[in-house]
Amino acid sequence: AAGVIQSPRHLIKEKRETATLKCYPIPRHDTVYWYQQGPGQDPQFLISFYEKMQSDKGSIPDRFSAQQFSDYHSELNMSSLELGDSALYFCASSLGYRGRETQYFGPGTRLLVL
Amino acid sequence: GDSVTQMEGPVTLSEEAFLTINCTYTATGYPSLFWYVQYPGEGLQLLLKATKADDKGSNKGFEATYRKETTSFHLEKGSVQVSDSAVYFCALSAGNTGGFKTIFGAGTRLFVKA
């Protein structure tokens, strides 16, 4: 079965650079979620989109922005990168947005900021 | 606000031992409850879920029962294997929190020795 696809899988950037992470949800899924997992930490919710509109916002820094496109894929744009942004970034998708749907996670993008 | 509390790790067991990882939650409304597993260097995988009180989720020999009276969702397995070594996250998703993000516990690392 098709799963959530994230690209790139690994990314190395320097401080103050920008990065764009991409997420392709499971076909027919209309909701996308972004999470950040620091080393040894639990995943922290950043932002979500339902039907191409922002549906909820968590602890996403102002330097980050995201959007969901007409084909339901999503991109997380990160600017003015800081060392503390080094983390594993997960995307998840679900069908519907009523709070009980299972979220299926992608393999993550590991970002290292030097 | 909604939260998940799970037992601290690491938990170290011998192969074929009985596993319990405790998880309790705080939520307004009626959350869905999940256990996710993260193998070293990999993304989050859904292990099992339960969407209403007294439901039992089960998968790969793991079980957890949604206990509304004790607000718990403890993970159990009768006989662990070395391949079960991973980090286990308890999580909830509630439809009336003002958002539909998944809230994770801190994770419990399990080591299984041969």
pLDDT in tens, A5-60: 999 999 999 999 999 999 999 999 999 999 999 888 888 889 999 888 888 888 89
CB pairs under 8 A between A and B: 66
Residues A102, B34: C-beta atoms closer than 8 Å: yes
Residue window 47-106, chain A: list those with CB within 8 Å of chain B.
48, 55-58, 90, 92, 97-106
CB contact under 8 A, B43 and A48: no
Residue B12 is predicted with a pLDDT of 96
Dig out the tokens for A58 from the structure. Answer: 């968590």
Write down the H helix ranges in B1-114: none
The half-sphere exposure of B50 on its side-chain side, counting CA atoms within 13 A, is 22
Rounded average pLDDT over A78-89:
96
Segment B31-73, tens digit of pLDDT:
889 999 998 878 888 899 998 899 999 999 999 999 999 999 9
Task: For residue A108, list chain B residues with Cβ-Cβ distance below 8 A.
Answer: 42-43
Q: Which residue of B has its CA nearest to A34?
A: B101
Q: How confident is the model at residue A80 (pLDDT cuts 50, 70, 90)?
A: very high
Give the mean pLDDT of chain B: 90
